[in-house]
Amino acid sequence: MGLFARSRIPRSHLLLLAASLGLFAYGTAYVWRDNERFREWIREDGLVEWLTVAGFLACAVVAFRTAAALRAEGGRIAAARCWTLLALVLLFACGEEISWGQRIFGWESPPWFQIHNNQQETNLHNLKFRRFDVNKVVFGKFLAVVNVAWALLLPILWRCLPPVRGFVRRLGIPLAQNLHIAVWISVAVVNRFSTRRVPKAQELLEFMGSVMMLVILTHPLNAEDLPAARRGAPAGPATP
């Protein structure tokens, strides 16, 4: 198994990636063409935010279905628990993204959140305690490290080290394919320049993150190690 091993990616996944990249490119061009109109376009409860919520919700459904399929296989309890935990985390991300329905239903934040939340909303990712900004530290730097370890480092180790392959299979960890990695790095680099111009452009990266997670979960590099019932299409043979 070489560093360029891969699994065949279904056409539907490629179309989803193409459409998502089109929206990302449109938003990025907006950042550089008209700052003020971009801020209006990327507003809270706008198109990009709801597409992000839809992406994470779809990921949660996939994760719950995969957990159920792993339990049905028998002997893969650890993997089933990992996928169940992932599903719960994704549901949490959906709730955080829409501030748990606060803006939808129009209820007021409790006093504690009005004091400690940057946007006076009922969510955790915008909390700030003096110099400690939860969004920057936990949902920014820490999550970035986790993403690099999962989406970039782990697939390389999986290809090269048999013990890592055993660990990944035991926990049922889905791995990014070469195309996923290339797209994610490109998007992250481009968005870095956009956020320097308009910090709100970070919403575009969150949207692409939800899409990238969905395509990785539904057709990972190690598709043969995960339940066939979950795969969007049959996997092709690994290519050395």
Domain borders along the chain are 11-230
Question: By C-alpha distance, which of 89, 82, 91, 24 is closest to 57?
Answer: 91
pLDDT tens digits, one per residue of 7-59 = 677 888 899 999 999 999 999 999 999 988 898 899 888 899 999 999 999 99
pLDDT in tens, 180-200: 999 999 999 999 999 999 989
Chain centroid offset of residue 178 CA: 16
Confidence of residue 119 (pLDDT cuts 50, 70, 90): confident
Residue 230: what pLDDT? 47
Per the structure block, which two tokens stand in for 238? 């690994």
What is the per-residue pLDDT for 104? Answer: 82
* Burial (CB count <10 Å: 0-12, 13-18, 19+), residue 230: buried
Residue 235 has pLDDT above 50, yes or no: no
Q: Which of 205, 201, 211 is nearest to 176 (CA)?
A: 211
Judged against a pLDDT cut of 80, whether residue 4 lies above it is answered with: no
Check residue 191 and give its pLDDT: 95
Contacts of 27 (CB under 8 A, 6+ apart): 38, 41, 42, 48, 201, 204
C-beta atoms surrounding 196 within 10 Å: 10
Question: What average pLDDT does the segment 76-105 reach?
Answer: 92
Asked if the model's pLDDT at residue 167 lies above 90, the reply is yes
Residue 102 has pLDDT above 90, yes or no: no
50-78 core/surface letters (b: 16 or more CB in 10 A; e: else): ebbbebbbbbbebbbebbebbbeeeebee
